[in-house]
Structure 1
Amino acid sequence: MPTPFDSLPDYLALPRIEGLALSPDGRRVVLTVATLKKDGTGFDRSLWAVPADGSDGSGGATRLTRSAKGESAPAFTAAGDVLFVSARPDSDAETEEEAGQLWILPATGGDARAVTRLAGGVSQIAAVAEASARLVITADLLPSATTLEDEAHLRAARTKKKVSAILHESYPVRYWDHDLGPAEPHLLSLDLDALRDTVGAVRDESAADEASEKDAPMPYPSSLPRPADLTPQPGRSADAAGVAITPDGTTVVAAMRVPEGTDARYRLVAIDVDTGEHTVLHDEPRVDFEMPAISHDGTLVAYLRTVERTPEGPSEEEFWISALDGSGAHRIAAEWDRWPSSISFDADDTALIVTADQDGRGPIFRIPHDGGAVEQITTDDFTYTDVRVDRKTGDLVALRSSWMAPSHPVRIARDGLITALAAPVSLPEVPATMIDVDATAEDGARVRGWLLLPEGATADAPAPLLLWIHGGPLNSWNAWSWRWNPQLAVARGYAVLLPDPALSTGYGLDFIARGWNAWGAAPYTDLLSITDAVVARPDIDETRTAAMGGSFGGYMANWVAGHTDRFRAIVTHASLWALDQFGPTTDFSPYWQSIFTPEAMIEHSPNRFVADIRTPMLVIHGDRDYRVPIGEGLRLWSELNAQFAGADGSLAHRYLYFPDENHWILKPQHAIVWYETVFAFLAQHVLDQEWVRPDDLG
């Protein structure tokens, strides 16, 4: 039976649930839903409300917002109003701005209205108080500005003069897909009690007259709560690794960045919202303090403590709890070596609710404060995100996904019973069946992964195999991805192997350490071991296999290309090729240079083995990739040509280049081109079909 994965346009048109918020009374869930734009070149986002108890007796999903610019990042206030960020037009603004602002949708009904009018917009909602009208947002402000009006004036001057230059006075200068600066990130507090409703436009005549003078800045609107800067002159310190606010809104705890030469660490800082005073709670050399969470009674703060990683090996991510003033700090769950992706307090504050990778899944765990054993709450094959605690019942509400189902909302009862919530998005039919597979590595370690099989794969009709290698490398193939979706390959008759080799998370610190400072060693042999185990199955055709990966997965694809000819094709996306070049040119070089010895960076650099490549390669890179800069792809393509081009310049390899994409290929029309090119390349070399150039490539 056909599924949406048989057609790339149909697949891109599938709606996606991207975020979740739970109302204070535990009765409503608000979801962020992304849908394909009419012209197919982007996604629109809107907010939908659904009942949080698992019933749809109240009407199922209800759309809350509708605008051309879309809405995202929902959060609830203590009063039950919905906050979100949007670049939708503000009817009270003097001019139409493109920057996203904070908006509020009243619980009592009525239209949404803007809460901020910052010239550079709002970056995100950082934290919202549970029992007061205060919240914290992040926003970028120009370093020379002394007031919000001054900041707006400076921005307008740059825009008028069409100045885009940035003067850097510190490192780094880029992050993933965008340039840093000239503005710096700030934490700003807002008191929603200062938001005023008015009849007609608010106009301060004296301020307006003054602003009409040449080059005078416009005053910040008096009807809006004026943001208070909690981090004046921050540099990059407010690039926080987590922000929390006490229920009464009086104290913010932030993991703030502390520069150390070109490197940095994070320390925990308490900020008094009324006075702006900073108090350092926890700070140690060569140690990061991150992911603060504050208890519901406002007396405790939980956080992660991580000793700086070196070439000698990875370090544990330690769970700690202290009083709000930093006293009484103590570690909990010292024997548990998983790395958390989220931390919050349980309903009664006696335990932490944590998500972490675990054996190819991403369960929810409960960690008691009293030293009790870590309890795994969910035991299915899903990975959970956006976990919220219902204070009234103790139940949890979350999104979950697996390779068989994209993100969808569920309720988890205290007894572990899981109930699917109503949603505006139905789960799509998928073409694959999913099997848990494993193998024994050269050193005796267990290496596992997921195998997705197409319908009809049998000993009489074995399926060709695609080995997909995940990025990271500290990662796991345990959750649905809209970018790298194996269901699309399964719909075309391939089996897809999604292994977690050495360096993968969810298997303990020792498993990560097996590949540390030696990417080309155990990670490579682990991939071969599990591939050997899978191709031994009668429903897999071992003569028709290919390998592919992105980022670290692209690094491994390059390494595989130079060390074996067992695969008939290799696809390498956003890949590391020459580690000595990558180290100083990536967006934050100190980290990568600190986890390798200079000798290991040379020994495990794929470019050293270019002459040994015997497999056709499809190289893919985006010019705006700052994590793995375009120089990696350019050098790989240059050296493939220098080594293998014929007298007429022809060669078996291909290079797919996106001038305006980054580490990920995000524009829907480009995602289609990406998949069409990959499947055409695989069809040529794995299925022995004629090469067909995708139409949109001209």
Structure 2
Amino acid sequence: MTVPVTHDTTAPDPGQTPFHDLDAYLAIPRTGGLALSPDGRRLVTSVATLDPARTAYRTALWEVDPTGQEPARRLTRSSKGESAAVFTAGGDLLFTSARPDPDGAAEGDPRPALWLLPAGGGEARVIATAPGGVGGVLAARDADVVSLASSLMPGAADLEEDARLRKARKDLKVSAIWHTGYPVRHWDHDLGPDEPRRFAASLGALADEPARPLPVEEDGEGAAGAAPGRLLDLVQLTGPGRALVEHSAALSPDGATLVTTWNVADPGAATRETLVAIDTATGERRTLVDDPDAGVGSPAVSADGRWVAYLSTTITSPEQAPVVRLGLAPLDGGTDPEVLADDWDRWPSSVTWLPDGSGLVVTADEDGRGPVFLVTFGPGGPGAGEPVTVERVTADDATFTDVVVAPDGSALYAQRVSYLAPSEPVRVDLAAFRASGEPGSREPVAAQALRGPVPAPTLPGTLTEVETTTDDGVRVRAWLALPDVSRGSEPAPLLLWIHGGPLNSWNAWSWRWNPWLMVARGYAVLLPDPALSTGYGQEFVQRGWGAWGQAPYTDLMAITDAVVARDDIDETRTAAMGGSFGGYMANWVAGHTDRFRAIVTHASLWALDQFGPTTDHSFYWAREMTPEMALANSPHRFVGQIRTPMLVVHGDKDYRVPIGEGLRLWYELLTASGLPASDDGQTVHRFLYYPDENHWVLSPQNAKVWYQGVLAFLGEHVLGQAPELPTTLG
């Protein structure tokens, strides 16, 4: 085992960190998202803070100085919060909020509306509303055109009729949904009865008129020439449907074209994402990318409006893991799409154009980080068919999200996040990087932290990087968070935390699974990336594909073996935890080893034959494992071998891993495990059930109970302490 990187983040006084108090932890403000004005002079982010009742988070918009000189300043304030900041071509700031309109009628159930905050100052005002609320706001970079999403009832010809249909359902207390296709649920919400549509309009026309429910443009006039306050419903022209469920979209700089993903049906109740272009003046739609072997997403249009870059993910089979690539297609559809950097052994996760069109700024997982990369086209530019060069731009041990590029290409801005700190806005000197040499010969540069609205919290320990080599010669690495050694030399108990996904990596701060809360209580937390993790190449994913109980499991045990051999770890006091796929793996671990004193399994897969047909996207599962593979890798078959106390956690509204998994696991632990309930019903196992939570535990106070319950269970079985449960559990 090697320890190549160590980060010392020990607090001067460990007792004063917010991680020692759950209420203080929940109150830490959370930063996310970035929007850059067209002139590059204004950078806006959002900050979520705990409301006065401490039962929800509300978001406000803050402005950050792109030069890093001035402190951040707050732009918005309301009890409902504001989000989805977008700058218009004229420099005004658009956002969505459900806060009351000072000029509108009071509503009992307000939905998010589109607001405009003028660049020159003044009060924000509502410029668009819809019965189903608005979201997905896009603004053209060079034109007075805006596009947004809303949802209509399938029988509604316009938004006025949509309002009537919604009111009728509400008044009659009808909740039924009539489905004609698949899927019917997604992650944590039911699909339908309303269906997503896109709208486009002249921003000037909207801003000049009082906000009102958006009528559908029916005379073919088009958004740019529409009457004041009107929007053209792009999807309504082709009939209702689910084509835009969970879509991603982009506007061309001139506002003439909306590029969006478009779901199409495939055999076996499956769906697949294609890429279409929709004329914002006529609603005419044409297909740009339709690959029967892949789904596409995250479109980005070049500054000259000629090209669309996007991400392509191959459709899997039980034998073949997905491959994620960069794609390029002409916006006019003149030539076939092409794959970029096909020999780059990383999966791109976002794509942004350089303003001059000479390259793409891309993010991708890599070795427990998520750097920014630059993809540079050859001398002929995009579409010339020449090889591209891929270079790492950022040197930080961190992950970068929400990347935006300055209009002159001199810098990029992003949120930087790692296990050392939550998201913070940073600047990367792109001009200096590009000037340092020819493509392929340049060294990564460090990002500059800006004066963001939220300082990083002080941590209660240190972060180090560990790795080992498995019996089959594969390198497996992990982050290891350690408690402050100044408390004494006693080795720390170890918590093995297994990430979800499984196509994922422990490379970014998590508010829901935060290791520092456990470190503050004396635990060391191991965050490994076993087989199936991203950022280590295609073969690393493939070696665990369709065989979840094999390489992923042996990788986890190998890195655990390496870590418990350290002098600062107590190998006699260990536990394992995981959620989603990590919960599956916790269940698998429980049935295959007795090495841990306790196991926590959250939102976990238990019986794979039962899980497959009941998850929200069963067609995807059918592509991942055959029935024979699912049975071979199903943890429920090994329930009789479980001799470790388990804490089962599940939310009733979890549609990705339905509650039936948790219920069956709980029953079989009590009746068929190696530690069954006694004749009088007593058991060492516990079940933390959330009737109103989903795959995640989102309510702040429910999250607090989650940590309290987990800490009590671990304290009892790992530390030998009497369990202390919160009074909120009765």
The alignment status of 1:252 with 2:233, answered yes or no, reads no
| 3-state DSSP of counterpart to 2:389 | coil
Match of 1:600? 629
The answer on 1:84 being equivalent to 2:95 is: yes
The Cα shift of 1:267 comes to: 1.2
- Name the counterpart of 2:110: 98
Task: Tell me the residue number matched to 1:214.
Answer: none
Name the SS for the 1:548 alignment partner: strand
Which of 168, 172, 180 does residue 161 from structure 1 map onto? 172
2:685 to 641, 653, 657: 653
Deviation readout 1:580-618 (Å, 9 max, x if unpaired):
011010111100111101111000000000000010000
More off after superposition, 492-501 vs 325-334: 325-334
Is the contact between residue 190 and residue 228 of structure 1 (CA under 8 Å) also seen in structure 2?
no
What is aligned with 1:135?
146
SS at match of 1:115: strand
- Structure 2 residue identity aligned to 1:103: W
Residues 595-650 of structure 1: CA deviation (Å, up to 9, x unaligned): 10111100000000000001000000011111100000000001111120101100
Task: Provide closer, same or farther for how the CA distance between residues 270 and 467 of structure 1 changes in structure 2, counting only shifts above 3 A.
Answer: same
Counterpart mapping for 1:484-523 below 5 A:
484-523=513-552
- 1:213 match: none
The aligned residue for residue 327 of structure 2 is: 320
Residues 1:330 and 2:338 aligned together:
yes
Instruction: Please state whether the residue corresponding to 1:397 is helix, strand or coil.
Output: strand
Match of 1:364 among 369, 372, 383: 372
Cα deviation 1:488-532 (Å, max 9, x = unaligned): 000000000000000000001100001000100000000000000
Shift of 1:94: 3.6
1:7 — aligned with what? 21
1:384 and 2:390 are equivalent in the alignment? no
Q: Which amino acid in the other structure matches residue 239 of structure 1? A: V
Instruction: Indicate if the aligned counterparts of 1:457 and 1:539 stay in contact, CA closer than 8 A.
Output: no
What residue number does 2:429 align with? 413
Paired residue type of 2:120:
T
Partners of 1:468 and 1:496 within 8 A in 2 = yes
Give the alignment of 1:544-559 within 5 angstroms.
544-559=573-588
Cα drift, residue 327 of structure 1: 3.0
Distance 1:24 1:694 in 2: 50
The alignment status of 1:67 with 2:73, answered yes or no, reads: no
Unmatched segments (≥5 aa) in structure 1: 208-220
Aligned-pair CA distance for 1:129: 1.0
Partner residue, 1:224: 229
Matched AA of 2:406:
D
For 2:390, which of 370, 374, 383 is the aligned residue?
Answer: 374
Aligned twin of 1:689: 721
2:189 corresponds to which residue?
A: 178
Contact 1:294 1:300 in 2 (8 A): yes
Aligned to 2:9: none
Q: CA deviation at 1:287?
A: 2.3
Residues 95 and 155 from structure 1, CA distance in 2 versus in 1: closer, same or farther, beyond 3 angstroms?
Answer: farther
SS in 1 for 2:485: coil
The residue that corresponds to 1:641 in the other structure is 670
**AA of the residue aligned to 1:228:** D
For residues 688 and 519 of structure 1, do their structure 2 counterparts lie closer, same or farther at Cα, with a shift above 3 Å needed? same
For 2:455 and 2:296, the matched residues in 1 are separated by 40
Structure 2 spans left out of the alignment, 5+ residues: 1-12, 216-225, 379-386, 434-444
TM-score, structure 1 normalization = 0.94
Letter of the 2:569 counterpart: I
User: In 1, distance between residues paired with 2:235 and 2:145?
Assistant: 13
- The SS at the match of 1:375 is strand
1:386-465 correspondence runs (5 A): 386-414=402-430, 415=433, 416-456=445-485, 460-465=489-494
2-structure distance, mates of 1:477, 1:284: 31
Q: What is the deviation of 1:697?
A: 0.7
CA distance in 2, matches of 1:29, 1:558: 45
State the one-letter code of the partner of 2:134: V
Partner AA of 1:151 in structure 2: D
Shift of 1:148: 1.3
Aligned-residue Cα RMSD (Å) equals 1.8
TM-score (normalizing by structure 2): 0.90
- Deviations along 1:229-259, one digit per CA (max 9) or x if unpaired, are 3454241111254211110000111121001
SS of aligned partner of 1:289: strand
Residue-by-residue CA offset, 1:417-448 (whole Å, 9 max, x unaligned)? 42211122111101121111111123211011
Asked if 2 retains the 8 angstrom alpha-carbon contact of 1:384 and 1:400, the reply is yes
**Which AA in structure 2 matches 1:648?**
D
C-alpha deviation, 1:223, in angstroms? 5.7
1:392 Cα deviation after fit: 2.1
Q: Secondary structure at the match of 1:515?
A: coil
| Displacement after TM superposition at 1:55 (Å) | 1.2
Pick one of 664, 673, 679 that aligns with 2:696. 664
For residues 506 and 457 of structure 1, do their structure 2 counterparts lie closer, same or farther at Cα, with a shift above 3 Å needed?
A: farther
**SS of the counterpart of 2:701?**
helix
For the residues of structure 2 that align with 1:284 and 1:467, how far apart are their CA atoms? 40
* Whole-angstrom CA distance in 2 between matches of 1:246 and 1:226: 18
Q: How many residues align?
A: 677
CA distance in 2, matches of 1:101, 1:55: 33
1:278 is aligned, of 281, 285, 306, to 285
Larger mean Cα displacement after TM superposition, 130-139 or 481-490: 130-139
Q: 1:72 to 1:37 in 2, by over 3 A?
A: same
| Aligned equivalent of 1:266, options 270, 273, 284 | 273
TM-superposed CA distance for 1:27, in Å, is 1.2
- More RCO (CA 8 Å, sep 6+): 2
Gap change, CA 1:268 and 1:131, over 3 Å in 2: same
Q: Distance in 2 between matches of 1:407 and 1:605?
A: 37
User: Are 1:308 and 1:315, in contact at CA under 8 Å, matched by a contact in 2?
Assistant: yes
Whether the 8 Å CA contact 2:54–2:701 is kept in 1: the answer is yes
Q: Which amino acid aligns with 1:9?
A: D
Given that 1:458 and 1:538 are in contact with CA atoms closer than 8 Å, whether structure 2 keeps it comes out as: no
Deviates more, 1:496-505 or 1:455-464: 455-464
Which moved further from structure 2: 552-561 or 417-426? 417-426
Relative to 1, partners in 2 of residues 1:417 and 1:350: Cα closer, same or farther, differing over 3 Å? same
Residue matched to 1:195: 206
Offset, 1:138? 1.6
Aligned counterparts of 1:424 and 1:297: Cα–Cα separation in 2 = 34
Match of 1:111 in 2: 123
1:35 aligns with 2:49: yes
Per the TM alignment, residue 374 of structure 1 is displaced from its structure 2 partner at its CA by 0.6
Deviations 1:272-309 (A, max 9, x none): 11111111112132322222111011111112233311
Contact 2:100 2:106 in 1 (8 A): no
Change (3 A) 1:323 1:397: same
CA distance change for structure 1 residues 459 and 560 in 2, over 3 Å: closer, same or farther?
farther
Q: Which residue of 2 aligns with 1:217?
A: none
Contact 1:265 1:286 in 2 (8 A): no
Task: Measure, in 2, the Cα distance between the counterparts of 1:544 and 1:666.
Answer: 30
Q: 1:417 to 1:529 in 2, by over 3 A?
A: closer
After TM superposition, give the deviation of residue 155 of structure 1 in Å.
Answer: 1.0
**Aligned-pair CA distance for 1:226:** 2.8
Question: Is 2:360 the partner of 1:352?
Answer: yes
Superposed CA offset, 1:111-162 (max 9, x none): 111121201101322x321101212212111000001111111111111222
The one-letter code matched in structure 2 to 1:455 is D
Instruction: Tell me by how many angstroms 1:319 deviates.
Output: 1.6
Q: CA deviation at 1:52?
A: 0.8
**Structure 2 residue 162 is matched with structure 1 residue 151:** yes
